Amino acid sequence: QKEVEQDPGPLSVPEGAIVSLNCTYSNSAFQYFMWYRQYSRKGPELLMYTYSSGNKEDGRFTAQVDKSSKYISLFIRDSQPSDSATYLCAPAAGNKLTFGGGTRVLVKP
């Protein structure tokens, strides 16, 4: 079993829909929880992060962490075709990130 699990998708939604992504993890030492976005043939870029349990909102994006169930979520409201990418969760313990395999999202116009 991998330390961080994500459904690989693809997750296909119509423009304007809410996209719901999630990860599960096994390491209780994770304290920071990052979401990276990776466009095709590009390097990942940090989208947002949360520290410990709780919610964080940034524009159309909301990240949630439930440490008791070791569950991480990312919601994208009013999705746009430009949101089509692979989304990787990356929890961290100390200075080391552990990436999930990513979920590929396709937003159709």
Closest CB to other proteins among residues 29, 109: 29
Under DSSP, is residue 31 helix (H, G, I), strand (E, B) or coil? Answer: coil
Residue numbers at the binding site for other proteins (CB under 8 A): 2, 8, 32, 34, 38, 41-46, 49, 86, 88, 90, 92, 94-97, 99-102, 104
Shortest distance in whole angstroms from residue 93 CB to other proteins: 8
Shortest distance in whole angstroms from residue 52 CB to other proteins: 13
Amino acid occupying residue 78: D
Shortest distance in whole angstroms from residue 78 CB to other proteins: 26
- Helices and strands, counts by H and E, the chain: 0, 11
**And the tokens for 1?**
């079993």
Q: Which residues pair with 23 in a beta bridge?
A: 6, 72
Amino acid occupying residue 88: L
CA distance 2 to 25: 8
Shortest distance in whole angstroms from residue 72 CB to other proteins: 13
Amino acid occupying residue 57: E
